[in-house]
Amino acid sequence: RVFKESLFKESIFSLQDFYTKEGYWDSFAYYEGIEKLKLNRPFYSVLAPRDKTLARNPLKLLGSLSEGISNLFSHPIGTLKALIGRGYVARPVFQIIEGKKYKLSFEGTSFFTQQDLTDISELEKKGVDPFSLEEAKENIIKAYHRKGFFDVEVYYEVKEGQISFRVKEGERYKAVGTVLDGEFYDEDRLEQLLKMELERLMEEGYTLAEGRINKEVFKEEKKVKVSLDIKPGKRQILKDFVYDGHNQEIKKIFSRHEEKLPAIFNSQLVESLNLNIQNYFLKKGFMEGDFETQVKLEEDDKNIYYTYIYTVNEGPVYKLGETIYYGYKNTTSRELSYMTEKAVNYSESLNDKTLHNMLNSGIFTGVYIDTFVDKNKKTVHRLIQLSEDKRGILDFSLGYNTEEKISLEAFLGMKNIFGIGLSSGLKYRKTGKRKLYDITLEDRFIFSSRYWFKADAFKNYEEHKSYNLDSRGFNLQLGYRITGNTSVGPVFSLLNNQVNGQSFYIKKYGIFLIREFKDDLFSPNRIHYDSLNLSFAEGDAKYTKFDLSTFYLIPLKRNFKLSFKVAGGVVSQKAPIFERFFLGGLRDLRGYSFEEVGQPNGGRYYAFGRLELMFPIKGSFVGVVFGDGGSVGDKLEDLSKSIKSDFGGGVGINTPIGPVRLDVAFPFEREWFKKYKIYLSVGYYY
């Protein structure tokens, strides 16, 4: 193996333990260093390092060979020299002082085992001398007393390395009183009972509770009178948080924490409020912000009430200083400036938005923003560390299914072309029945942080319940960010769609509005999503289509979460079937099969609503109950006549990519329990 001196320095502890277990309790081992030896013959073991465990477990040979290959690539020169017999090997040198070997024995013991008494004596750790022997004797006596052997006698004798302890255990005393009455005395059990009782009192708010074990030994009767002397004190109640000020945002912080009060005093409640105030300072740029607290105490016969009164001093708002980037190689500084949020005054939200922009750009795998505060100039400077993603991606996959036979998929992608954030991708799929492709070109920050675009040329195939759609064409989206979360812009499409033996050559013009907010990019507790699309089509079919969707995820008290979705749409009368509306499946009416509602030709109008309540079960596990309702019709008044609805529930687990859920849904129909649908999903569908 490749020599690592740190491993041998650490092995000194294992060596010392070995000598101790062998009875050399006065031994001492230390590491002197290494001896460098020149090889005079080929050293082939470098290609398959091995140890004694290899003979007992031959499967370790694979790991040994893997380590040898690693040696060859990580240390090629040293490995090749060893193979031709011109290298060096290192031999560790240890100095051992063994001392005398001892044997320890115990006679007359029945309650404790030999190993128990060896551990209790602590001779293995402390060595052998008159003081440690007396201490070992006292340890053994105390251990017997704790178990109720108050008449125990212990003697020892040392002769030529043999240490012999003789124990007269005597009779074991029984406990009488309020605890362990009639049972054998056991101080370990008494301490456990006392601990459990104190923990129970603390959970009830008696955080200052204390107690001790009272015992009185009656040697003539062989009994111990036992009781637990517990003084609970008064319950500690956190009554209120009071903000002495007029700032409305700070008042909102306090109101969220006041909802949890009154409560049993818990310092974490106070620390949580303090942390939120400090985060507010950072968010708003009050780098000198501070607060003072006064604690008001009130008490009655059973309780002490704590009221925390806060005085908050925001201090001056700091200006935003320089922003310095490092760690990037290919991205232009102009492109970085597009992604970086700026303002006159510093605030933590600027960093959050910058982090969001850079990670959403698809260019970087990691972004870290550090700040440096200049208190003299009241300025905050930013240092942004970047880790760029690979610029090229190539992926192949090969599969087989009974319908399409062999399936070949390939993807070729390029990121950050010319260092300006431009990305492209080619996805190709070939099966026994068809060839499909999708070529994309996009830039999420073009010319500024406000603009983005996405274009794609494609050939696609979709299977629906009442029709199959072959489509090819071109799409172009131009977006303008009204805010960091809201984009609006035009859409243009050229399409050639084939469905049920008909061909449709269509030009589409439209406009979209999308708003998406997450309070956390990776593990959101609050989500707001709104989508509005209006499009006009001409060519072989002339029609207009409008749809609107909104989704909210809202955190409630006690880690409950409420989500709802409302959506609706309308399309003009001459729209082909692939532009008409259907409902059913995972994304909307879960009690019905995919596109079951609206068959066979779909509807010109649709409306849909969903309501879900997610609640904690234990740890990361959650439960959910939900209800869906919706309708599809050719006339607006038909929507109220053919409403379909369902209900259901599920269980899931929170993960870094969102909740992974298993749901079961039932339609509100006769024999509903026979028409259940089961879904496995990841994340939130909106």
Model confidence band, residue 50 (pLDDT cutoffs 50, 70, 90): low
Whether the Cβ atoms of residue 666 and residue 672 lie closer than 8 Å to each other: yes
How is 233-302 classified by DSSP, letter by letter?
A: --EEEEEEEEE-S--HHHHHHHHHHHTT-SEE--HHHHHHHHHHHHHHHHHHT-TT-EEEEEEEEEE-SS
> What are the CA-CA distances from residue 53 to residues 4, 8, 9, 50, 61 (Å)?
20, 18, 22, 8, 10
**What's the number of CA atoms in the CB half-sphere (13 Å) around residue 669?**
16
The SS3 assignment for 580 reads: coil
Judge if 103-168 and 235-313 fold alike in CATH terms: yes
Domain with residues 450-682, CATH architecture? Beta Barrel (2.40)
H helical segments located in 498-597: none
Q: How many helices (H) and strands (E) does the chain have?
A: 13, 31
Q: How many angstroms separate the first and last alpha carbons of the chain?
A: 55
Cα gap 352→354, rounded to integer Å: 5
Query: Nearest Cα to 499, choosing from 553, 440, 541, 535?
Result: 541
In the predicted model, is pLDDT for residue 404 greater than 70?
yes
Lowest mean pLDDT among 54-63, 107-116, 482-491: 54-63
Band of the pLDDT at 229, cuts 50, 70, 90?
very high
The whole-angstrom separation of Cα 106 and Cα 371 is: 66
Domain extents in the chain? 5-97, 103-168, 174-231, 235-313, 450-682
pLDDT at 178: 87
Give how far Cα 197 sits from Cα of 184, 185, 417, 579, 613, Å: 21, 19, 67, 69, 37
Predicted confidence (pLDDT) at residue 535 exceeds the cutoff of 80: yes
Q: What's residue 521's pLDDT?
A: 67
Q: What pLDDT sits at residue 570?
A: 98
Specify the pLDDT at position 539. 95
DSSP lists the bridge partners of residue 237 as: 264, 305
Q: What is the pLDDT of residue 1?
A: 62
pLDDT digits (tens, 9 = 90+) for 640-680: 989 999 999 999 998 877 889 999 999 999 889 899 999 99
Structure tokens at 481: 């960010």
- Read off the pLDDT of each residue in 173-197 and give the average, rounded to a whole number: 94
- Amino acid letter, 534: L
pLDDT above 50: residue 10: yes
Write down the pLDDT at residue 54.
47
What mean pLDDT is predicted for residues 374-386? 94
Q: How far apart are CA 429 and CA 410, in angstroms?
A: 6
**Nearest partner of 224 among 263, 187, 275, 264, judged by Cα:** 187
Question: Within 99-225, where are the H helices?
Answer: 114-121, 123-126, 130-146, 187-203
What's the predicted TM-score (pTM) here? 0.63
* Average pLDDT for 347-357: 89
Architecture, CATH, for domain 103-168:
Roll (3.10)
Mean pLDDT of the chain: 90
Mean pLDDT of 108-112: 93
d(CA 444, CA 341): 15
Could you give the percent of the chain with pLDDT greater than 70?
96
CB-based contact 464:595 (threshold 8 Å): yes
SS (H, E, C) 15-54: HHHHHHHCCCCCCEEEEEEEEEEECCCCCHHHHCCCCCHH
Which residues on adjacent β-strands are paired with residue 587? none
The dihedrals phi and psi of 59, each to the nearest 5 degrees, come to -65, -20
pLDDT of residue 212: 94
| Element (DSSP H or E) covering residue 310 | strand 303-313
Query: Could you count the other beta carbons within 10 Å of the beta carbon of residue 658?
Result: 15
Is residue 386 a contact partner of residue 366, using CB atoms and an 8 Å limit? yes
> Which of 200, 203, 139, 198 lies closest to 165, judged by CA?
139
656 or 588, higher pLDDT: 588
Residues 347 and 340: their CA atoms lie apart, in Å, by 13
What angle (nearest 5°) sits at the alpha carbon of residue 593, between those of residues 591 and 597?
85
The Cβ of residue 482 has, within 10 Å, a number of other Cβ atoms equal to 13
pLDDT tens-digit series, residues 249-302: 999 999 989 988 999 998 999 999 999 999 999 888 999 999 999 999 999 989
Tell me which of 74-88, 163-177, 345-359 is least confident: 74-88
Confidence (pLDDT) at 254: 95
Contact 292, 311 (CB under 8 A): yes
Look at 89 and 293; give whichever has higher pLDDT: 293
**For 473-495, what is the mean pLDDT?**
94
Q: Which residues contact 287 (CB under 8 A, 6 or more apart)?
A: 281, 315, 318, 346, 373, 375, 378, 380
Least confident residue range of 62-71, 356-365, 581-590: 62-71
pLDDT of residue 643: 95
Compute CA distances 8 → 12, 34, 43, whole Å: 7, 9, 21
Reply yes or no on whether the pLDDT at 462 is more than 60: yes
Give the range with max mean pLDDT: 284-288, 482-486, 530-534: 530-534
- Residue 73: the pLDDT is 67
Longest Cα–Cα distance in the chain: 111
pLDDT per position as a tens digit, 413-459: 998 888 888 999 999 999 888 899 999 999 999 888 889 999 999 99
* Residue pLDDT, tens place only, 507-529: 999 999 999 998 876 678 899 99
CA distance 430 to 461: 12
Q: b or e along 438-447 (b: 16 or more beta carbons within 10 Å of the residue's beta carbon)?
A: ebbbbbbbbe
Q: How far apart are CA 552 and CA 550, in angstroms?
A: 7
Contacts of 240 by beta carbon, 8 Å cutoff, 6+ apart: 258, 261, 262, 307, 308
Q: Does the domain spanning 235-313 belong to CATH 3.10.20.310?
A: yes
pLDDT at 493: 97
CA distance 572 to 634: 10
pLDDT score for 29: 80
In tens, the pLDDT along 240-260 reads 999 999 999 999 999 989 988
